[in-house]
Amino acid sequence: MKYIITLIVLASFGAIIYGYSLDESQETLSHRFIGGGVVGLFLVAMPLFLFKESKGKKMKDYMLTEENIRKMQNKERENTDNQ
């Protein structure tokens, strides 16, 4: 999965760079390459990367809830007391 994501990212950057390097006479083709590269990065590679990296993690730990706010406040108090 890691290699597929890397390949998609490299292909997307390549398409974006190629789109910018085309002449002004091929403006529509240039926009298509740039748009395809952006779509590849943000609608294909990023969700795949996030899915791969978040596997097995609890989303509740990363959400800002009352319980997590209290935990953070208690940790701040402990850090200031220890110094």
Q: What is the pTM of this model?
A: 0.69
The whole-angstrom separation of Cα 83 and Cα 79 is: 6
Give per-10-residue mean pLDDT for the chain (83 aa).
Answer: 94 96 92 96 94 85 83 76 62
Angle, vertex CA 53, rays to CA 48 and CA 55, nearest 5: 100
Nearest to 29 by CA among 44, 43, 37, 41: 37
CB contact at 8 A, 40 and 18? no
For residue 55, what pLDDT is reported?
A: 85
